[in-house]
Amino acid sequence: MLTQIAAGFGTVTTGVLMLYGLYATVKTKGIAFRAFPAMFRQIKHPQQTGRTVSPFRAFATSLGGTIGVGNLTGVSVAIALGGPGAVFWMWISALLCMTIKYFEVYLAVKHQPETETQYAFAPMEYLKKATENKGFAGLFALCGVFSALAMGSMIQTNAACSAGETAFALPGIVTGVVFAVGVAVFLSGG
């Protein structure tokens, strides 16, 4: 039952994101595609803006925060379950949802602090500035905590445990304890 609910939620979420990506792409006349030449010019000849982070660094940070173990395991599971058709739909969804990622980077650069020396590019920071609504930003932060715990940590730890069991016959509990100790050391400032 829970698996069916999760699968339905995933389907609905994917559909909503693809529809919004299509809407945003049409509304912006394909900004994610039209901006590619400007992006490559910016990489080759960066402009000095006087801000804390260049547009390229914001792009690279955003891309680095997007691609992870969840993407790798998700793609492999999708191909195993869906075959070649899954690759086609992943390309379609990636092309449609590029505009959503474009807006994330755009908002981060637009609402970055102009005089501060610290980096403040967290989505809740620019949501607070863009909407002038602390409650909305707080709700986003709360959802981010649950997402990081449920999707990020659990998927990555499960993937590492599965790889350890397959490659080295290492029990999952050992990998889990190593991860827990590593996180504890990192969080305690070690």
On the question of pLDDT at 74 being above 80, the answer is: no
- pTM recorded for the entire structure: 0.59
Helix axes 154-168, 69-82, angle to 10 degrees: 70
Spatial separation of the C-alpha atoms in residues 43 and 39, rounded to whole Å: 6
Spatial separation of the C-alpha atoms in residues 155 and 187, rounded to whole Å: 20
pLDDT tens profile 91-137: 888 888 888 888 877 777 777 766 655 555 677 777 787 788 888 88
Identify the pLDDT of residue 19.
92
Compute the average pLDDT of residues 21-37. 86
Q: In the 8-state DSSP scheme, what is residue 148?
A: I
Pick left, alpha or beta for residue 67 (phi over 0 → left; psi -120 to 50 → alpha; otherwise beta): beta
Q: How far is CA 16 from the centre of its chain?
A: 16
Dmax (CA) for the chain in angstroms is 55
